[in-house]
Amino acid sequence: IRRPPRSTQSRSSAASDVYKRQILGGLLFSLVLVHVFDHFGTLYLAAVLNLSAAGLVALAFRRRLLLGASVAATAAWAIAASWFDLDTISTSIQYPGQRIVFKGNSPYGRLLVTETSGQYNFIENGVRLFSTENIEEVEQTIHYAMAQRPEAKRVLLIGGGISGTAREILKYPRTAVDYVELDPLIIKVAARLLPEHRPQARVEVINTDGRHYVRRTKRRYDAVLIDVPDPSTFQINRFYTREFFAEVKRILAEGGVLSLSLGHYENRLSEELAKLIAVAHRTLSEQFRNVLILPARRNYFLASDGPLTMDIAGALERHGIGTQVVSRRYLRGVLSSDRVADVRRAITEDAPLNQDFSPILYYYHLRYWMSQFSVRLGLLVAALAAILLAALVRIRPVSLAVFTTGLAASALEVVLLMAFQILYGCVYHQVGLIVTMFMVGLGLGSFSMNRLLARCGRRALVGLVFAVALLGAALPGVLSALGRFADLPSLAILGQLVILALTAGLGLLIGLEFPLAAKVDFASVAATAGRIYTADFLGAALGALVVSTLLIPLVGVTVVCLTMAAINLLSVVVLLCTSAPN
């Protein structure tokens, strides 16, 4: 008996089943797996599930060779996973010549501690936070700033205290230290590995996000020392922005000094490093009357509304502060006239400002980092442009709509993650929740549209694309409003809920679109699912990479959101101009 032919609606619903299964997998990962397995455990599980699926398909289609290969691969993978600690092996390859002494996860990231010749290196999420026994860096971090205010009574140290900097500040007898460290696991591991570096009587350890603390504290400080890595991520860039410097200025006592470092100056000042220096100097100068750059092993920036001096050695000698490395002879070399002249030439008044929602310093640091290798950012941009052009040359109107909404969804989700981080602190332990809300929105949208397909058509698809454009256009205003109330603890929870709701709403629109697009542009189940799925994935991939790497740093969040709105409005126009079925 032949089955009656299925309607276009039911066949398009079958095409969207691919999307629903992806959503279910995403929800399973966000809600369960991320809390149960580490990254390698998740990879093991994904490998076993896919190999098992391959075996079931081979069994269903009676492909004995494929079935045997699937069983053999599963057995080999299980043996390898049980006999070899691939996590340790891969970490050892990543950090050759270093002994791994600790690996662990916390709500703030993956902490790794390695040891080389008695020096411990603390690395979180792939970024080196600090190394112990590095007396040169410890003394420079502390004494360049403290020599400006040797009588300081209270100092705020953000990051790095376990490396020895907190203890070094105590050489100034009248000074008490508030040491802010985000991850309590760092303090816990350091207490076991480095008992001599435990915080002492005049050091108060505060486990919270440094930016969050500066925004909320009522205390006043004579010096604020920022000891964080270079701005290689949006998370770290928050400590180099105009908004953060304004927040620091608010908690500085009269004539107080801010200190931070950026980039390594070895024998010459490269073009990429010069741009880093120029942006940092311009941004600091927006808030402080005096900015001094000391081109030592790292480039140290001192900023204050009070006087600043380069006579570091003289100030240390007058107050009897003993040092091992930072001496008059050492400073004569690193602060030589030619080095100082180099960094002064790098300063330009037309350098762009580094801001929370326009993190240009992050982009310049990426170029600075890539300049140390053979990779060129221009080649990456050209390759992405070629892929985009090839994909769009013959794309159909409905697939174009799916592509542009996928692009916007990915871009706006990056914006929302970044905004959450800037306004409410470290986002690491909230990423799962934000991604989950997006996946929940996708699931609800897809589920709902499959029940509304009979009543919806091309006009509804146009409306969904237009709604995505409206969300992109409205987002900068919403984030600006949330930023004005971010300092109020009573409204912080409400602001976080707003961002989660926006994320879920964005996912809802995309989830509604996919089944409808499959119906409007239906050819066959396989062809339709493949075409629309490809358009969605290509848009999402380009959105995540290009927006986070290039567009947000170069043009800022507002322009990115408005650009996504404009692209989707163009898609609306194309759909309206091609109203006839494809």
Confidence class for position 22, pLDDT limits 50, 70, 90: low
How far are the Cα atoms of 50, 57, 317 from residue 69, in angstroms, in the given order? 13, 12, 74
Q: What is the spatial distance between Cα 410 and Cα 427, in angstroms, rounded to a whole number?
A: 17
Q: What is the spatial distance between Cα 475 and Cα 502, in angstroms, rounded to a whole number?
A: 9
For residue 173, the one-letter residue type is P
The answer to whether 256 touches 304, Cβ cutoff 8 Å, is yes
The answer to whether 471 touches 412, Cβ cutoff 8 Å, is yes
Question: Residue 519 pLDDT more than 80?
Answer: yes
Distance of CA 18 to the CA centre of its chain: 30
Note if 209 is an active site residue: no
Q: Pick the residue with more confidence: 163 or 7?
A: 163
- Which pLDDT does position 240 carry in this prediction? 96
Task: For 483-495, give the DSSP string.
Answer: HHTTT-HHHHHHH
Mean pLDDT of 376-400: 73
Confidence class for position 5, pLDDT limits 50, 70, 90: very low
Strand partners, 100: 114
Per residue in 145-177, pLDDT (tens digit) is 999 999 999 999 999 888 889 999 999 999 999
Q: What is the spatial distance between Cα 464 and Cα 468, in angstroms, rounded to a whole number?
A: 6
Which of the residue ranges 210-214, 309-313, 382-386 would you say has the lowest mean pLDDT?
382-386
- Which pLDDT does position 3 carry in this prediction? 46
Residue 240 CB: number of other CB atoms within 10 A? 26
CA atoms within 13 A on the CB side of 278: 18
Mean pLDDT of 505-516: 91
The answer to whether 154 touches 221, Cβ cutoff 8 Å, is yes
The answer to whether 291 touches 280, Cβ cutoff 8 Å, is no
Q: What is the three-class DSSP state of 113?
A: strand
Which of the residue ranges 174-178, 202-206, 297-301, 443-447 would you say has the lowest mean pLDDT?
443-447
Confidence class for position 58, pLDDT limits 50, 70, 90: confident
Q: What is the spatial distance between Cα 300 and Cα 277, in angstroms, rounded to a whole number?
A: 10
Catalytic: which of 178, 183, 222, 227? 227
Give me the helices (H) in 234-393, please.
234-237, 242-251, 271-285, 312-318, 328-334, 337-346, 360-370, 377-392
- Which pLDDT does position 7 carry in this prediction? 52
Q: What is the three-class DSSP state of 357?
A: coil
**Model confidence, pTM:** 0.84
Q: What is the spatial distance between Cα 384 and Cα 364, in angstroms, rounded to a whole number?
A: 20
**Residue partners of 69: CB distance under 8 A and separation at least 6:** none
Per residue in 260-299, pLDDT (tens digit) is 999 888 777 888 899 999 999 999 999 999 999 999 889 9
Per residue in 461-477, pLDDT (tens digit) is 999 999 999 999 999 99
Mean pLDDT of 66-80: 83
Question: Residue 38 pLDDT more than 70?
Answer: no
Mean pLDDT of 31-42: 67
Confidence class for position 4, pLDDT limits 50, 70, 90: very low
Return mean pLDDT, the chain.
85
